Amino acid sequence: MKATEIRELTEDELQTKEVELKDQLFKLKFQHALGQLENAMKLKQIRKDLARIHTIRSERRKGTEQ
């Protein structure tokens, strides 16, 4: 997910997306631990998306959104 796509979401949508991504990340970590994960890059992508969401939510709280 790109930052521009994330910026278009409302606060409620961001919160929902964050919960979904955290759930996916948990499941992927579990699969990775069991050796069943086929695409390890998916972990990296989800972590990046979560970081983007956190950054944008922080910007909005501070009022510095670009």
**Rounded average pLDDT over 10-36:** 95
Total-model pTM: 0.86
User: What is the average pLDDT value for the chain, to the nearest integer?
Assistant: 92
The pLDDT confidence band at residue 65, using thresholds 50, 70 and 90, is low
Three-class DSSP category at 41: helix
C-alpha triplet 55, 56, 58: angle, nearest 5°: 65
Provide the pLDDT for residue 1: 80
Mean pLDDT of 9-24: 95
Q: Which CATH class is domain 3-62?
A: mainly alpha
Taking residues 29-41, report their average pLDDT.
92
**pLDDT, average across residues 8-34:** 95
Q: How far is CA 48 from CA 35, 44, 52, in A?
A: 22, 6, 6
